[in-house]
Amino acid sequence: MGALYDKLRQDIRFVEGLTACLNCGTCTAICPAAEFYNYQPRKLVDILQTRDDEKILELLKGDTIWYCGECMSCVTRCPRNNAPGLLITALRSLSQELGYFVESEKGRQQLAIKRTVGHWILEYGYCLYPSQITPENHPEQGPIWEWEFQNLEKVMERLGANYQKAGPGVLRAIPQEDLDEIKKIFDETGGTARFEKIESFSRQKAEEMGIQLDDGLQNDYIKHIYTAVNKDHTTEP
Amino acid sequence: MKPEGKRLVWNEYQKEIANDNYFYVRSCVRQNFFPGAEKTFLRYMKDMGRNVFENPSHTTCSGIGYHSDIVPFETAMTMVARQFALMSEAGYENFVTSCITSFGLYSEVLETWEHFPAVEEKIRGHLRNATGREFVKPKNLAHASDVTFKLRKDISKAGKYRLINHITGNSIRVVEHIGCHYSRMFPNKGVGGAEYPYVLIGMIDEWGGEVIDYPERRHCCGFGFRQYLVKANRGYSVSSSKKKFDSMKPYKPELILTNCPGCPMFLDRWQYAISEMEGTTYGENGQGIPVMTYEELAGLILGYDPWDLGLQVHQVPVEPLLEKMGIPYDPAKKFLDINGNSMGKPKPPSAMKFY
């Protein structure tokens, strides 16, 4: 047993998610990620049960662990009560903890998620926030969202929201004392530490790649990780 | 056949759903994209004589951050614990969530604490240190679709319309789509389990519709958290939805009904995107298949005005369904603000019929 495997075992989701895999492939057969990406949950679980640190390191530094959509379809169907989707959550946590996520194209995207969803949680108290969902970044939202975005306050008022106002209701302004509590929870439980790690490892990587990165979203590194597809992720090499 | 045995088997798929006095927590996705759905839920709960309490201090559960792996499990568990504390402090014990991602996370957290009591103690300590709050775990945890399922017969009785084509008399053909995190991880937390979830079927049956079975019925809509949040990954998301549309099209669905906040958005928006990308539409005569939340559909059954429900912010127009059900609507009021003033109109898509 290796040091990385031991670290994974410290995550209760890993303990819960890995019993013994019989390699039946049911998880791969129903996995939406396996249909799109070069990804097989069966293979992933098989690697993990070898407890081979070299192979685990390869996973932590590679794209494979970032292909899963965490829909958890695999959990329902596994005849041995394995949960590949939960194992993915443990692998991704460790990859970020040790800074290996920046070594893959898909892993590097974590900074973009941290600076959007992560920021919105602490700033607004919501995982998503309408004024930040720009039509430019979301063309798939179509002309209806473009129209809503241009008339956000009036549309929200028409639909009965309490947008940015005090009191209960849709998209109410979350009181500052409650946002302060969220921040304290993040400080207390490792959320802030995770954010800082994502930032610091990404900064090092941006420097190594020679791509400009500053504090916001309008910089070359964020644009790069948000849009880049520089390799074929869908077919087996 | 012994009916006792059958009843015993189906007992596994039953779920206890509280009847009144709910502590309600909202959904991030729902509030952004279909705000009228949550307003409608509270409206019919009031009309059905139920007490629902909302504390404005509740926040995101952080579920989207957790499942895109930027938020650690301990942080997410403590965020959940804080929501439970707000419920306990308000004197409630029936917790109802609008969001399926949240419902899955609440279920996962409670199950984890069941298996690892020391983790629950640790999280109690974290919450105490960070906020000074204490909590009691909910006596009953339900998704808002569970509660609507429970009230489906009352809604039907009070209803003005049914899922029936008012000209032909035929039942409207409905595809139901269940959010993955409703019961995939914990089948016993959902009505009907994971393979045969009954929560939406029960509503469709009760309100007069015909449920359509099709091969990819249980396939994910394709949210995949990071697979949608990052632009470079959205091929995953649209491919999953397309797989479902291609699979359901031969069965000629007239409505897609969903219980997850994300799914209706993706199944609505990706129909538009596919029509722009390759000119394909999945409904009749160049139309899309209308996609609805169960709250919106309950609102239609009850005779609420379609524009009060927020159906004007669907990219796939809902008018074909309204016309089939014989529900009156005023096209001139579709894009007006609360004072009746024009807010302009969205541009029409290039391939899909727009109203």
| 3-state SS track over chain A | CCHHHHHHHCCHHHHHHCCCCCCCCHHHHHCHHHHHCCCCHHHHHHHHHHCCHHHHHHHHHCCHHHCCCCCCHHHHHCCCCCCHHHHHHHHHHHHHHHCHHHHCHHHHCHHHHHHHHHHHHHHHCCCCCHHHCCCCCCHHHHHHHHHHHHCHHHHHHHCCCCCCCCCCCCCCCCCHHHHHHHHHHHHHHCHHHHHHHHHHHHHHHHHHHCCCCCCCCCCHHHHHHHHCCCCCCCCCC
Q: Find the closest chain B residue to A118 by CA distance.
A: B65
Q: Which token pair is B267?
A: 């199944």
Residue of B nearest to A137 (CA): B231
CA distance B167 to chain A (A): 30
Task: Give per-residue pLDDT as tens, A66-91.
Answer: 999 999 999 999 999 999 999 999 99
Spatial CB neighbours of A200, under 8 Å, sequence gap ≥ 6: none
**Residues β-bridged to residue B174:** B211, B255
Phi/psi for A3 (5° steps) reads -65, -40
Average pLDDT over chain B reads: 96
Q: For residue range B252-271, what is the model confidence (pLDDT) as tens digits?
A: 999 999 999 999 999 999 99
Mean pLDDT of B282-289: 94
Token pair 């499990």 in the structure block, residue: B73
pLDDT class for B10, splitting at 50, 70, 90?
low
Q: How far is CA B334 from CA A64, A170, B310, in A?
A: 46, 21, 9
CB contact (8 A) between residue A185 and residue B238: no
Residues of chain B with CATH 3.40.50.11810: 151-333
Tell me which chain B residues have a C-beta less than 8 angstroms from the C-beta of A127.
Answer: 28-29, 60, 62-65
Q: Are A72 and A85 in contact (CB under 8 A)?
A: yes
Domain boundaries, chain A: 3-98, 107-227
Q: Do B63 and A190 touch (CB under 8 A)?
A: no
Q: Which residue of B has its CA nearest to A169?
A: B56
A176-229 tens-digit pLDDT: 999 999 999 999 999 999 999 999 999 999 999 999 999 999 999 999 999 999
Q: Are B65 and A117 within 8 A, CB to CB?
A: yes
Q: Which of B29, B83, B231 to mutate to test the interface with A (most CBs of A within 10 A)?
A: B231
Contact between B335 and A147 using a beta-carbon 8 Å cutoff: yes
- The stretch B176-184 carries a mean pLDDT of 96
Q: Is the pLDDT of residue B195 over 90?
A: no
Which residues in B lie closer than 8 A to residue A148 (C-beta atoms)?
313
Count Cα neighbours of B232 within 13 Å in the Cβ-side half-sphere.
23
Number of Cβ atoms within 10 Å of the Cβ of A204: 12
Beta bridge partners of B177: B258
Spatial separation of the C-alpha atoms in residues B319 and A51, rounded to whole Å: 57
- Helix runs in B116-212, H state only: 117-131, 144-150, 152-158, 180-183, 199-206
Question: How many Å apart are CA B57 and CA B64, to the nearest integer?
Answer: 19
Q: What pLDDT was estimated at residue B6?
A: 63
R_g of chain A computed on alpha carbons:
20
Residue B186 is encoded by which pair of tokens? 């914990």
Q: Is A191 in Cβ contact with B71 (below 8 Å)?
A: yes
Q: What is the secondary structure of B311-332 as a DSSP string?
A: GGG-SS--HHHHHHHT----GG
**B222-241 residues touching A, CB cutoff 8 A:** 222-227, 229-236, 238-240
- Give the CATH architecture of domain A3-98: Orthogonal Bundle (1.10)
**pLDDT value at position B14?**
80
Nearest CA in chain A to B118: A12
Contacts A198 to B, Cβ<8 Å: 70
CA distance B119 to B256: 40
Q: How many of the other CB atoms lie within 10 Å of CB of A143?
A: 18
- Dist CA B80 CA B243 (whole Å): 34
The shortest CB-CB distance from A185 to any of B75, B194, B270 is to B75
Q: Over range B213-235, report the average pLDDT.
A: 97
- Report the C-alpha dihedral over residues B335, B340, B341, B345, rounded to 10 degrees: 10
Tokens representing B345?
């109109």
Question: Which 3 state secondary structure label does DSSP give B47?
Answer: helix
Are B338 and A157 in contact, with CB atoms under 8 Å apart?
yes
Which residue in A143, A195, A227 is closest to B349 by CB distance? A143
Could you give the CA distance from residue B95 to residue B103 in angstroms, rounded to a whole number? 10
> Which residue is closest to A85 within chain B, CA to CA?
B185
pLDDT in tens, A34-67: 999 999 999 999 999 999 999 999 999 999 999 9
State the helix-helix crossing angle for A191-209 and A84-98, rounded to 10 degrees: 70
Residue type at A94 in one-letter notation:
L
Query: Which secondary structure element, helix H or strand E, spans residue B25, and what is its range?
Result: strand B22-25
Hey, is the C-beta of B338 within 8 angstroms of any chain A C-beta?
Answer: yes
Does residue B337 register a pLDDT over 60? yes
Report pLDDT digits (tens) over B129-176: 999 999 999 999 999 999 999 999 999 999 999 999 999 999 999 999
Q: Answer whether A230 touches B (CB < 8 Å).
A: no
Percentage with pLDDT > 70 across chain A = 99
Residue of B70, B229, B346 lying closest to A146 (CB–CB): B346
Is CATH 3.40.50.11810 the right assignment for the domain spanning B151-333?
Answer: yes
Which of A33, A72, A155 is closest, CB to CB, to B185?
A72
**How many Cβ atoms sit within 10 Å of the Cβ of residue B127?**
26
User: Shortest CA distance to A198 belongs to which of B123, B235, B65?
Assistant: B65
Q: Which of B72, B218, B270 sits opposite A194 (nearest CB)?
A: B72
SS3 B335: coil
- Three-state DSSP at B222 gives coil
Which residues are bridge partners to A51 per DSSP?
Answer: none
DSSP lists the bridge partners of residue B173 as B210
Contact B125, B204 (CB under 8 A): no
- Tens digits of per-residue pLDDT, A130-160? 999 999 999 999 999 999 999 999 999 999 9
- Give the pair of three-digit tokens for residue B54: 């909302």
User: What is the SS3 assignment for B269?
Assistant: helix
Question: Rounded distance, CA A162 to CA B146, Å?
Answer: 25
Rounded Cα–Cα distance for residues A64 and B191 (Å) = 34
Question: Could you count the other beta carbons within 10 Å of the beta carbon of residue B143?
Answer: 30
Q: How many helices (H) and strands (E) does chain B have?
A: 17, 8
- CATH class, domain B22-144, is mainly alpha
pLDDT at B1 > cutoff 60? no
Contact of A28 with A40, CB cutoff 8 Å: yes
CA dihedral B192, B197, B198, B201 (to 10 degrees): -170
Which of A103-107, B41-45, B194-198 is predicted with the least confidence, judged by mean pLDDT? Answer: B194-198
* CB spacing of A127 vs B272 below 8 angstroms: no
Q: Is A12 on the interface with B (CB under 8 A)?
A: yes
Closest CA to A128 of B35, B314, B77: B35
Please give the ipTM for the structure prediction: 0.98
- Mean pLDDT of the region B278-282: 97
Q: Which chain A residues are closer than 8 Å to B77 by Cβ?
A: 189
Could you give the CA distance from residue A35 to residue A133 in angstroms, rounded to a whole number? Answer: 28
Q: How far is A213 from chain B (nearest CA, A)?
A: 17
Mean pLDDT score, B63-91? 98
